[in-house]
Amino acid sequence: MESPPAAPAPSARSADAPPSVAVRSTRPGAAIVVRRLSIVAFIVAADLWSKAGIFSWMNTLGDQSALQLDVHGHQRFEIFGDWFAFMLSLNPGAAFGQLESFPYLLIGGRIVASVFLAYWIVSSRVGRPAFNAALVLVMGGALGNLYDNLFLDLPHDGRPFGPVRDFIDVYFGVWDWHFPTFNVADSCITVGAALLLLSSFDKRANEPAPASRET
C-alpha cells in the first residue's frame, strides 16, 4: 500500500510573502492621508485666521498709545518687552524680501512646490514621522502664503500678485537689528525645513517599518 504523497515544501515565493506584506504595510492608507491633509488644512486656517485677526485689531488701534515707535519709526504692539512685538507688514517677496522683482517666478515656484508636496503627502510611506511632519508643515505654510498672493484683495502697487501679510516682529535693540517680520505660515515652513534636514540624517527613515510607527 502506497503512503500518501508528502506535502510540498513551501516555495521561495511563499517564504517571501511576510517581507512583501511588511513593505506594503508602510504605504499610507486612506485614514493616514486624510489625517495628513486635515493637519495641512488646520495650518492654513490658523495662518489665515491669525493674519486676519491681528491686522483687523491693530488697524483699530491707529496711533493710540498702545503702539510703540521704535528708532526706525515702526509702529509696534509690544508683547514681551521691545524684542517681541506685533507689527503690520505687507511683503511682496519671499523671506528676507527675496524674489520681489520676479513675481511670476516666486508665485509659480510656490504653486509647483505645493503640487509636489501634495503628491508626497499622499504617497510618502509611514514610519518616517519627521519627514512626513515636515511635508505637512511646509505645504500648510506654502498654501497660507499663496492664498494671500492669489485671493486676498490687498494693494498690489502695480505688481501682478498680492503681498503676504506678516505681523510677528523680533527686534534686538542692543544691536539695533530686526529679524524679518513673519507669520504663522513662515514659522511652519521654517520648522518643516529644519525637520526635512534632520530627517535626511536618520538612517531608519530609509528602512521599511510597520504602520504603527506613523504619527
Q: Which of 63, 166, 169, 202 is catalytic?
A: 166
One DSSP character per residue, 104-138 reads HHHHHHHHHHHHHHHHHHHHPPSS-HHHHHHHHHH
For residue 152, pLDDT beyond 50 = yes
The band of 99, judged by pLDDT with boundaries at 50, 70 and 90, is: confident
Arithmetic mean of pLDDT over the chain: 81
The predicted pLDDT at position 172 comes to: 84
Asked whether 40 and 34 are in contact (CB, 8 A), the reply is: no
Q: What is the mean pLDDT of residues 127-155?
A: 92
Asked whether 77 and 168 are in contact (CB, 8 A), the reply is: no
Q: How many Å apart are CA 8 and CA 5, to the nearest integer?
A: 9
Amino acid at 86: F
Q: How many Å apart are CA 26 and CA 103, to the nearest integer?
A: 39
The predicted pLDDT at position 97 comes to: 64
**If 0-12 CB within 10 Å is exposed, 13-18 middle and 19+ buried, where does residue 109 land?**
middle
Read off the pTM: 0.78
Q: What is the mean pLDDT of residues 192-212?
A: 70
Q: Which of 47, 148, 169, 186 is catalytic?
A: 186
Q: What is the mean pLDDT of residues 40-56?
A: 97
The predicted pLDDT at position 164 comes to: 94
The predicted pLDDT at position 71 comes to: 74
Annotated active-site residue 186? The verdict is yes
Annotated active-site residue 176? The verdict is no
Q: What is the mean pLDDT of residues 41-60?
A: 95
The predicted pLDDT at position 203 comes to: 59
In the chain, the percentage of residues whose pLDDT exceeds 70 is 77
pLDDT digits (tens, 9 = 90+) for 100-119: 778 899 899 999 999 999 99
